Amino acid sequence: MWDTAQEKWKGEAGTFLLKYARAALTATAMPGRSVWLIGGFGKKDQSPQAIGPIEIVFEYQNEVGETVVDIGPGQDFPIPMLHPRWDHRAVRLDMNTILVVGGLQGNPKAPTVNTMAELYQ
């Protein structure tokens, strides 16, 4: 986290690796100290393509009181999107629902417009 008052990096709770490297994704903060990383584009088998799985980054206190940053959500990880996309919008509608709309799909070198919307809870 960047401390704007002191103009320096402040602490590090931990590190994690995304299962899918991605660009042009959305990051939506949710209650419970979690952030949903949705969509984007990256490479699979050296071919550029839309990334469909949703990854969730969460922070919690472990049994000895240390702050831990992890990525999940466990056995259901990653959450598949119905329509992989990038350059889309994601909006938190209430405490547990995210609306994902629009964006681009297909090969980033020749994309098409994604007109579908999806709700995640």
The one-digit pLDDT tens for each residue of the chain (121 residues) are: 566 677 765 655 556 677 788 899 999 988 888 889 999 988 877 788 888 889 888 877 788 887 777 777 565 667 889 999 999 999 999 878 999 999 999 888 889 999 999 999 8
Residue 10 domain flag: no
Residue 34 domain flag: yes
Q: Return the number of other C-beta atoms located less than 10 Å from residue 36's C-beta.
A: 22
Place of tokens 């969730």: 56
Q: Are 90 and 28 within 8 A, CB to CB?
A: yes
Residue 12 domain flag: no
What burial class does residue 102 get, using C-beta atoms within 10 Å of its C-beta: 0-12 exposed, 13-18 middle, 19+ buried? middle
Q: Return the number of other C-beta atoms located less than 10 Å from residue 33's C-beta.
A: 13
Residue 3 domain flag: no
**pTM higher than the cut 0.85:** no
User: How big is the CA angle at 83 (ends 93 and 33), to the nearest 5 degrees?
Assistant: 40
Residue 46 domain flag: yes
Residue 43 domain flag: yes
Token pair belonging to 73: 């959500």
Number of domains into which the chain is organized:
1
Residue 49 domain flag: yes
CB-based contacts of 35: which residues, under 8 Å, 6+ apart?
27, 28, 29, 56, 57, 58
Residue 14 domain flag: no
Range of the domain at 68: 20-120
